[in-house]
Structure 1
Amino acid sequence: MKREREIFKSMDGSFYHPNQRLWSLPNTQENIEKVQKQFGNKLEIKETAERTIKPPFFILNEKSQQHLDQLHQKLVLKGFSTSTVENYKSAFSKFLKFFESRDLVELTKEDIEGFVYQQVSKYKLSESSQNSLINAIKAYYEHVLGKPREYYEIQRPKRSITLPNVLSKEEVALLIQSTPNKKHRTILLTIYSAGLRISEAIKLRICDVHSDGGYLFVKGAKNKKDRKTVLSPVLLQELRSYYKAYRPSYWLFEGQEGGQYSTTSIQAVFRKAVKASGINPWATVHTLRHSFATHLLQSGTNLRMIQVLLGHSSSTTTEIYSHILAVSNKNVVSPLDSLSEILNLTGKNRAK
């Protein structure tokens, strides 16, 4: 067993999970073939989850298409983002197909919740997909039919609390050092240094770098909110060196043919750097934003300032980073310590 464990640990991309006390590899066909080659008949493959059923392709009838067009028009007029409009339309079209023989005005709360339950049960919808479905339905009734917000108070899934993936400062340094291309290196430095979303990084303009004021201006971020975030002096020097080398014309980061640098290109750059550096293979570009917030908190920056820099509407969203900080006997004193003398405990194992 020890020999097999050492072989697995030496494979590219292997990662140790201290909480589960196990080693893992990214689930790719290439890795599966490598493991099969190394372990042969000793390898046992188990399905850990039920296979999800994909919704069938369908075409809406004329009446349902009119309802969908009405929703589209209202969402656009209200200034919803393109991605939100498309997500709502995709979700609402399933609702329309399900009730295409019914009058939508006559549907009850029980009818709608029954539909949501059917979708969740049959297609194993994630929490976010379930919420998108409910939001799309409510958007139609509230924005198109003009019903009050309380008209259909549909049951939502209990919100799960998951800790975001975070890299250590050493891992971030390894990632950057493993990115020799100046443009690629500068993009990753900018995302980490300013806590940007990938969509915000590709929308940065040259004029958004305010060297005199010491900040980056993020225009039209999530929920169409403008904000300012920190401009590191170190990043400023990197940006000046990058500008001299590439001379972008409008966007700070431009593709080879001009125009915005693409999201997929940044993701590819990041994946390549992750593989070269050997850091946590489950990290994504967004992990750099989580790491920015966590490292600021570790250095003593208050949560309110971090909330402003990240552009969070609610402080509750930012507070999740306080749960990430390491908890150990190095920074937290257990109340048991104050009872040790009374209980005559020495810390040694007294079990017979």
Structure 2
Amino acid sequence: MKWKAKIITHKKEKRIAVYFEKNDEWIARIKKLTGSRWSQTLGTWHLPDTVENRQRFHLAPLSYSLPSEEGIEQIEKFKQILRSKRYSDNTVTTYSEALKSFLVFYREKAVAEITNEDVILYNNEHILKNNLSASYQNQIVNAVKLFFQTIRETKMIVDKIHRPKNAKTLPNVLSKEEVKLILNAHSNIKHKMMLSLIYSCGLRCGELLALRPVHIDSKRNLVLLKNGKGKKDRIVPLSPKILEMLRDYYKIYKPTTYLFEGQIKGQHYDARSLQLVLKQVLQKTGITKPATLHWLRNSFATHLLESGTDLRYIQELLGHASSKTTEIYTHVSTKSIQQIKSPFDDL
């Protein structure tokens, strides 16, 4: 089969775009590659710009894209430590890739000789110079701190590694009217069911896709969420209307292992496919906001707050460890703000 690959910059990150005619076998193969993503905007699959991927698609070698031999060994040890502490696969990948970026920058330096000043230099000469985000910088800091906490002989003083100042960003929220348009736009009952469940229960995408039929307690109208973020279980109330929809859905699809399965029985639905479903719905409804699945969770929390639900209950429903995380929704709730009268009205 004919294909073409080239280096692109997507969302300020170097990626390898792979172009080929639609083919189920190729799509299945590329999905298995670490870090692969589908871009609706570009209309193609793309992968991290790594030595392995450049070799795989016969592209020019990437210079200085690997740490030193010592660095590679240390990253493998770091992965083993994270796995032994039961970090999720996504966290292991994120942290080890972040550490790899840092150790590539210092590939000519022994790990034991790296200091706090080197972290500052990396931030200035790599993060800021390449206009990388503060959240990515935070990932690097988290990975470096965790890594050097496990290294005994080092010049690094872990407690003095500084973080970038957090941006005061507000959560993105949809109005109730927009949510209603989104949930009613799809004729496919599975897609409508998944989007409705995220909004009605305030679920993270991963929590939705990990649901199994046994997690639905229809007698008590509850949903049991196993191993949510931070490995914490919690329960959330299930709307009677959602329960009726679930019964109709179950009769048609008869899921076996997961409540929402993909084309292959026993495997959960793909997160990227669900995000694509939402994008298609947005186009259909004419909503121009760049909404993501997480916007539905944010909207659930904000709409609860606006209806008078106590913030402590919302914290429990969302599975937030700290009330400070939940308090951010008070800044996007319009209930009190809309009651404020502008002095302009008295002129």
Query: What is residue 253 of structure 2 aligned with on the other side?
Result: 246
Matched, 1:168 2:175: yes
Deviates more, 1:228-237 or 1:118-127: 118-127
Matched, 1:256 2:263: yes
Question: Offset at 1:72?
Answer: 1.3
Matched, 1:113 2:120: yes
**Do the aligned partners of residues 154 and 329 (structure 1) sit closer, same or farther apart at CA in structure 2, a change above 3 Å counting?**
closer
Query: What is residue 22 of structure 2 aligned with on the other side?
Result: none
Superposed counterparts of 1:85-164, under 5 Å: 85-145=92-152, 151-164=158-171
Query: What is residue 179 of structure 1 aligned with on the other side?
Result: 186
Bigger RCO (CA 8 Å, 6+ sep)? 1
Note the alpha carbon deviations across 1:118-175, whole angstroms, 9 max, x for none: 2222221211110111111111110243889963411211111111111111111111
Q: Which has the larger radius of gyration?
A: 1
CA contact (8 A) 2:211 2:258 kept: yes
Question: Offset at 1:243?
Answer: 0.6
One-letter amino acid of the structure 2 residue matched with residue 320 of structure 1: I
Question: Offset at 1:221?
Answer: 1.1
Question: Offset at 1:85?
Answer: 1.2
**Do the aligned partners of residues 147 and 298 (structure 1) sit closer, same or farther apart at CA in structure 2, a change above 3 Å counting?**
farther
One-letter amino acid of the structure 1 residue matched with residue 246 of structure 2: L
Q: CA RMSD in A?
A: 2.5
CA contact (8 A) 1:109 1:152 kept: no
1:299 to 292, 295, 307: 307
Q: TM-score scaled by structure 1?
A: 0.76
CA contact (8 A) 2:127 2:137 kept: yes
CA contact (8 A) 2:306 2:334 kept: no
SS in 1 for 2:82: helix
| Counterparts of 2:152 and 2:81, CA distance in 1 | 10
Q: How many pairs were matched up?
A: 289
SS in 1 for 2:223: strand
| Counterparts of 2:190 and 2:320, CA distance in 1 | 28
| Counterparts of 1:213 and 1:150, CA distance in 2 | 51
Structure 1 segments unaligned to the other structure (5+ residues): 1-26, 31-54, 338-345
Note the alpha carbon deviations across 1:67-124, whole angstroms, 9 max, x for none: 1111111111111111111112112122222223323223322222222222222221
Q: TM-score scaled by structure 2?
A: 0.77
Question: Offset at 1:318?
Answer: 0.6
Query: What is residue 216 of structure 2 aligned with on the other side?
Result: 209
Query: What is residue 71 of structure 2 aligned with on the other side?
Result: 64
SS in 2 for 1:123: coil
Matched, 1:315 2:323: yes
- What percent of counterpart residues are identical? 40
| Counterparts of 1:262 and 1:212, CA distance in 2 | 29
Deviates more, 1:142-151 or 1:306-315: 142-151
CA contact (8 A) 1:131 1:157 kept: yes
**Do the aligned partners of residues 150 and 57 (structure 1) sit closer, same or farther apart at CA in structure 2, a change above 3 Å counting?**
closer
CA contact (8 A) 1:184 1:269 kept: yes
| Counterparts of 1:127 and 1:159, CA distance in 2 | 7
SS in 2 for 1:217: strand
1:287 to 289, 292, 295: 295
CA contact (8 A) 2:193 2:249 kept: yes
Note the alpha carbon deviations across 1:164-188, whole angstroms, 9 max, x for none: 1111111111111111111111111
CA contact (8 A) 2:207 2:225 kept: yes
Query: What is residue 50 of structure 1 aligned with on the other side?
Result: none
Query: What is residue 191 of structure 1 aligned with on the other side?
Result: 198
| Counterparts of 2:243 and 2:77, CA distance in 1 | 47
Query: What is residue 49 of structure 1 aligned with on the other side?
Result: none
Structure 2 segments unaligned to the other structure (5+ residues): 1-39, 44-61
2:237 to 213, 220, 230: 230
**Do the aligned partners of residues 216 and 149 (structure 1) sit closer, same or farther apart at CA in structure 2, a change above 3 Å counting?**
farther
One-letter amino acid of the structure 2 residue matched with residue 273 of structure 1: V
SS in 2 for 1:59: coil
Question: Offset at 1:293?
Answer: 0.5
Matched, 1:266 2:265: no
CA contact (8 A) 2:222 2:237 kept: yes
| Counterparts of 1:120 and 1:215, CA distance in 2 | 45
Deviates more, 1:66-75 or 1:196-205: 66-75
